């Protein structure tokens, strides 16, 4: 079973920041927080991952609380193409498989 | 860099028929995964290969599903006989040991959408 809890759906206005929360209260010390997204009719796509520190790349920022029990994925300027299901996953890393929950369906509205 | 290729993209069969899906991972990726995604749910792992050996097939319904990865490159997933509840998207993913901790993680193909009537 997935070890994360995410809201079922969220809306965001185009051009605004999208903040997607995730709770992972049972995360272990050696587990990373990964985010993937799945655009309609496509396979999941890696976005970002982190262990303790906040991370940023060209796609998004990841904010992890100090106790590591929750995190937030931030899309700084959401576009219509960011409409997708976003999955928050905790895993050890390496070649361990991904355990997906139901994710958050983000709708970016013009 | 070419991505993960899968074929066919769509397949419609009747229950009790057999079907096979094909996956070609990213060149050099030693680890290959097959996931099943039922409508409205997240993908669920069916089987994981490391080169041509099986790492984890604990969630593969072995009475009807089989998978192989001969020569450690391409892989096929077969269902025989198919049931109505097998209607789903079958996703193939691959990953590289070298890229595990860096950007990318697992790379997914577009999936094969199966409808069993």
Q: How is the beta sheet containing B65-68 ordered, strand by strand?
A: B5-7, B19-24, B75-79, B65-68
Closest-CA residue of chain A to B6: A43
pLDDT one-digit tens code per residue, A8-64: 999 999 999 999 999 999 999 989 999 999 999 999 999 999 999 899 999 999 999
As a whole number of angstroms, the distance between CA B105 and CA A100 comes to 14
What local confidence, expressed as pLDDT, does residue A100 receive?
94
pLDDT of residue B101 exceeding 60: no
B56 CB neighbours in chain A (<8 A) are: 97
Question: Which letter does DSSP use for residue B74 in this model?
Answer: -
- Listed by number, the residues of chain B in 42-101 with a beta carbon closer than 8 Å to a beta carbon of chain A are 42-45, 48, 50, 55-56, 91, 93, 95, 97, 100-101
pLDDT one-digit tens code per residue, B12-50: 999 999 999 999 999 888 899 999 999 999 999 999 999
């Amino acid at each position: 079973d997935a070890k994360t809890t995410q809201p079922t759906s969220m809306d965001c206005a185009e051009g605004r920041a999208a903040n997607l929360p995730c709770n992972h209260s049972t995360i272990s010390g050696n587990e990373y927080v990964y985010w993937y997204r799945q655009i309609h009719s496509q396979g999941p796509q890696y976005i970002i991952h982190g262990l303790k520190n906040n991370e940023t790349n060209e796609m998004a920022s990841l904010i992890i609380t100090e106790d590591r029990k929750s995190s937030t994925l931030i899309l700084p300027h959401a576009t219509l193409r960011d409409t997708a299901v976003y999955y928050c996953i905790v895993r050890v890393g390496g070649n361990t498989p991904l355990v997906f929950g139901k994710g958050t369906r983000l709708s970016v509205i013009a | 860099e070419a991505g993960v290729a899968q074929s066919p993209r769509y397949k419609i069969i009747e229950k009790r028929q057999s079907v096979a899906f094909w996956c070609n991972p990213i060149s050099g990726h030693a680890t290959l995964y097959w996931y099943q995604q039922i409508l409205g749910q997240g993908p669920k792992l069916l089987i994981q290969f490391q080169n041509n050996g099986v790492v984890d097939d604990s969630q593969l319904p072995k009475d009807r599903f089989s998978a192989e990865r001969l020569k450690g490159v391409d892989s096929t997933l077969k269902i025989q006989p198919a049931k109505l509840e097998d209607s789903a998207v079958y996703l193939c993913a691959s990953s590289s040991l070298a890229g595990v901790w860096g950007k990318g993680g697992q790379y997914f193909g577009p999936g094969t959408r199966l409808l069993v009537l």
